[in-house]
Amino acid sequence: MVVISYLKLFQPRSRGFQLQARLCTMATEHQHFLTSDNMNPNIRKMDYPVHGPLVVRAGQLEKELKNGVKKPFKEILKLDIGDCHAMGQLPITFVRQVMAMVFYPPLLDDPRFPDDTKERAQTILNACKGGSIGSYTDATGLEIIRKHAAEFIEKRDGIPCNWENVTLYGGATDGIKKILKLFVNETNGKRAGVMIPIPQYPVYSTTLDEFGLHQIRYYLDEDQNWGVNIEEMQRTIDEAKKVCNPKVLVIINPGNPTGQVFTRKNIEEIIQFAYKENLYILADEVYQDNIYSETSKFYSFKKVLTEMGEPYVNMELASFMSCSKGYVGECGFRAGITEILNMCPKVQAMFYKANTAMLCPPSTGQACIEPFIRPPEKGEPSYDLFIKEKEDILNSLKVRAKLIVETFNSFEGITCNEVQGAMYAFPRIRLPPKVIETAKNRNQSPDEFYASEVLENTGICIVPGEAYGQVPGTYHFRTTTLLPLDKMKIMLERLEAFHREFMDRYR
């Protein structure tokens, strides 16, 4: 063998070298049983482009800067993911105080902690087996927190909420995947199909690939501030029926990556369409606290569906909330809430049975949910500080959302819809023909080429629109609105200078 012949050239005498030679030979001879050819084809097909080559390259550039490599920038600004605390957002004091005592109960006797934080922490610990957050919980989550979540939803919508329909998960994504898994089935040789918005958050396309579900991609209407066009939905589903059985309609409101907030009228139209086509509604509502536009208001799909009355009130729906977004931003705790509405009792029983396979969602994430859904009330000692921190975060996000849109709209060839909610802008960029030609020669999409040039020349990491989907022939990129205001101004100045030079170079 080549490896053995190469090693013999050196006539090694050390036992360590001889051992390395034998291991190298064994590794070369070994034939893997599991290969990329015979592994699960769904896993092979999966792709999560948000964490693609550009993000990897951003990490490499960070290391190069630390090692003293000279660059035309001094730091990497990562605008690729909605990780609030990683971008500088400070934790809510009330949440962290409750969590501190849950993790270390002796702090319950510490006079520095307000009584309302102690009450929340004690409530959580009393519900835990052995009084410890390290114990297993019920597969659907701690009952007391599920009941408090139901009260939170009822207060939000003004509509009764049965706590037994509320389940806690390791983040909203965990709940979304468990609901979608229920639809993995073939009927008359056709897979189940799931309608997803384009642009979309790629957890959906990735999950559908993983489960072998068919993607039915409907385009949002950019000219109508990324609203849902019912005619487009109808066109898409009619075409999809030829190859799959449409079962689910996914709605993201407020939108990721598009930042729109659906009007009540648009929500009603979507519900009517879903009823006509007999679709299960999956409502991703994790950004419901992130509303910035003066003319926008969040309406939950449950609220609108219920208030529409018969026959819509009996439709099946699953909705999702999370502690990762909003003003709390506790992404790492993996804390999500799911409410299911009008599910078949037999299916619901099997759904809960399936949850037991993972024993329980992370108990630490469940603990984080409690202070989120039961914040301080007026008159409680933590109330004033809580309200100040909450309003400061949301007001700052509103200012940053407005700034980023106004600035992008001042760039040559870039247009950006109003960021009405969520944490992202998704501007459209009209690129000169020379850019498109250059990108093709480099085997890149034009927006990927633009984003890579931005990264290499400015240290700003944005995500090309192709990662989320876009109308063919249009190009976009997504950026978060999470950078602290001072850094955001620096980022926009740096990006403006680059963009001007880039457009001149390829004009």
Helices then strands, each counted (H, E), the chain: 18, 15
pLDDT in tens, 254-309: 999 999 999 999 999 999 999 999 999 999 999 999 999 999 999 999 999 999 99
Q: Which of 326, 342, 373 lies at the terminal end of a domain, its last residue? A: 373
Q: What is the pLDDT of residue 49?
A: 60
Residue with tokens 């063998």: 1
Secondary structure in 3-state letters for 4-47: HHHHHCCCCCCHHHHHHHHHHHHHHHCCCCCCCCCCCHHHHHCC
Q: In terms of C-beta density within 10 A (0-12 exposed, 13-18 middle, 19 or more buried), how is residue 175 classed?
A: buried
- Cα distance between residue 201 and residue 254, in whole Å: 12
346 and 492 belong to one structural domain = no
Asked whether the whole model's pTM tops 0.95, one would answer no
Q: Does some domain include residue 124?
A: no
Q: Is 20 a residue whose pLDDT tops 80?
A: no
Query: How high is the pLDDT of residue 507?
Result: 83
CA 218 vs. chain centroid, Å, equals: 19
Residue 475 belongs to some domain of the structure: yes
Q: Is the pLDDT of residue 239 over 60?
A: yes
The reported pLDDT for the residue numbered 83 is 86
Q: Are residues 33 and 155 in the same domain?
A: no
Are 252 and 359 within one domain? yes
pLDDT at 248 over 50: yes
Token look-up 């001879």 returns 29
pLDDT at 19 over 70: no
Q: Over 50: is that where the pLDDT of 13 sits?
A: no
* Structural domain contains residue 105: no
Q: Residue 83: which residues within 8 A CB-CB, separation 6 or more?
A: 331, 482
pLDDT at 353 (0 to 100): 82
Residue 70 inside a domain? The answer is yes
Question: What single DSSP character describes residue 73?
Answer: S
With CA atoms as reference, report the closest residue to 377 among 366, 368, 386, 389: 386
Which distant-in-sequence residues (6+ apart) come within 8 Å of 440 by Cβ?
none
- The answer to whether residues 440 and 487 belong to one domain is yes
Domain CATH number, residue 476 = 3.90.1150.10
Please tell me whether residues 352 and 393 are part of one structural domain. Answer: no
Tens-digit pLDDT profile for residues 192-231: 999 999 999 888 998 998 889 999 999 999 999 999 999 9
Mean pLDDT of the 156-165 span: 95
Q: Tens digits of per-residue pLDDT, 455-468?
A: 999 999 999 999 89
In terms of domains, do 343 and 322 share one? yes
CB burial readout 259-286, b (16+ within 10 A) else e = bbbbbeebbbbbbebbbebebbbbbbbb
Domain count, the chain: 3
Q: What is the pLDDT of residue 465?
A: 93
| Per-residue confidence (pLDDT) for residue 37, from 0 to 100 | 74
In this predicted structure, the answer to whether residue 21 has a pLDDT above a threshold of 60 is no
Report the percent of the chain where pLDDT is more than 70: 91
Does the structure show a pLDDT above 80 at 3? no
pLDDT > 90? residue 470 = yes
Which of 319 and 40 is assigned the larger pLDDT?
Answer: 319
45/254 Cα distance (integer angstroms): 29
Same-domain status, 6 and 144: no
- Both 209 and 267 in one domain: the answer is yes
CA distance 372 to 363: 15
Question: Are 161 and 214 contacting, i.e. CB atoms less than 8 angstroms apart?
Answer: no
Contact 458, 495 (CB under 8 A): yes
Domain that holds residue 416: 51-87+387-505
Tell me: do 355 and 419 sit in the same domain: no
Q: How confident is the model at residue 24 (pLDDT cuts 50, 70, 90)?
A: low
Whether 382 is in a domain gets the answer no
Name the band, by pLDDT with cuts 50, 70 and 90, for residue 244: very high
Residues 142, 78 share a domain: no
Residue 26 — pLDDT band, cuts 50, 70, 90? low
Question: Rounded mean pLDDT of the chain?
Answer: 89
Task: Name the residue among 490, 451, 493 with its Cα closest to residue 80.
Answer: 451
| Domain identity same for 7 and 146 | no
pLDDT at 66 over 60: yes
SS3 446: helix
**What's the CATH code of the domain at 287?**
3.40.640.10
d(CA 423, CA 292): 10
Range 308-316, long-range pairs (CB < 8 A, 24+ positions): 308/268, 308/271, 311/275, 312/271, 312/272, 312/275, 314/342, 315/271, 315/274, 315/275, 315/281, 315/341, 315/342, 316/280, 316/281, 316/340, 316/341, 316/342, 316/343
> How many residues are listed for the chain in this entry?
507
The answer to whether residues 323 and 227 belong to one domain is: yes
* pLDDT digits 0-9 by tens, 307-354: 999 999 999 999 999 999 999 999 888 889 999 999 999 988 888 888
The pLDDT score that the predictor gives to residue 55 is 84
Determine the average pLDDT of the residues in 431-436.
94
Looking at the DSSP bridge assignments, the partners of residue 337 are: 168, 321
Reduce the secondary structure of 126-182 to three states and give it as a string: HHCHHHCCCCCCCCCCCHHHHHHHHHHHHHHHCCCCCHHHEEEECCHHHHHHHHHHC
The alpha carbon torsion through 127, 129, 132, 133 (nearest 10 deg) reads: -70
Q: Judge whether residue 377 has pLDDT over 90.
A: yes
Q: Which two tokens stand for residue 477?
A: 């990129």
Higher-scoring residue by pLDDT: 53, 125: 125
